[in-house]
Amino acid sequence: MKNLLRLYLIFLKIGAVTFGGGLAMYPILHREFIEERGWITEDELTDYYAVGQCTPGVVAINVSTFIGNKRGGVPGGFVSTFGFATAPFIVIALLAASLRAFSEYPVVRNAFAGVRVCVCVLVVNAVSRLWKNSVKDRVTFFIFAFVFALCASAALLPFSVSPAAVVAASALFGIAWQRCRRRAK
């Protein structure tokens, strides 16, 4: 019980000081769990990141669950993840409440119109960062082009394109395609 409370408090602190999620959290985790406490090894942390990127959801959450699970089993996994989510939850709830209250003011509307420009830059950066590891050959480029065309013309299609269906279908396609390719060799 004391162990779980400690896990919760450590992750509460990490959640409060991590800006930018996933990768930004790496040095903090390194210091807290490898250098200061020795609860996990360097290799384990690297593994958690590798697997955390292949499991659904946000990487920061996945890695938190891994560390919690290592230290305190299944309850540890839950406790550390909830700990990580606590501080951001409070901050966002306060901010969202005040933004709603002030959103009709011209100053606030102009400020947000400016901030949205910054968000565009952020999206461009995210795409270019992901592009290198994902679109590696002709087939992956074709998948990209096909899905993008499908989404871009969604308004004209008689059915709606759900992102969940795209994710599921592309995963199945990847498995089938790679299997055929290996068999052909």
Partner 1 sequence: MIFLLKLFCEFFKVGLFAIGGGMATLPFLYALSAHSGWFTATDVANMIAVAESTPGAIGVNMATFAGFITAGIPGAAASTLGLILPSIIVVLIVANLLENFHENTLVKDAFYALRPAAIALLCASGMSVFSVTMLSSEKIASATGFSAFTSALNWKAMIFGVILYAMQKRFKWSFVSFVALSAAAGIIFRFSC
**Residue 52 C-beta: closest distance to partner 1, Å:** 7
Closer to partner 1 by CB, 9 or 91: give it: 91
Three-class DSSP labels, 108-162: HHHHHHHHHHHHHHHHHHHHHHHHHHHCCCHHHHHHHHHHHHHHHCHHHCCCCCC
- How many CB atoms are closer than 10 A to CB 160? 8
SS3 of residue 185 by DSSP: coil
How many Å apart are CA 83 and CA 122, to the nearest integer?
A: 27
Closer to partner 1 by CB, 5 or 126: give it: 126
**Residue 45 C-beta: closest distance to partner 1, Å:** 13
CA 130, chain centre distance (Å): 13
How many Å apart are CA 84 and CA 15, to the nearest integer?
A: 4
Angle made by CA atoms 93, 55, 15, in degrees to the nearest 5: 35
**Residue 16 C-beta: closest distance to partner 1, Å:** 5
**Residue 38 C-beta: closest distance to partner 1, Å:** 19
**Residue 31 C-beta: closest distance to partner 1, Å:** 17
Closer to partner 1 by CB, 5 or 58: give it: 58
Closer to partner 1 by CB, 158 or 163: give it: 163
- Find tokens 């795409």 and name the residue: 127
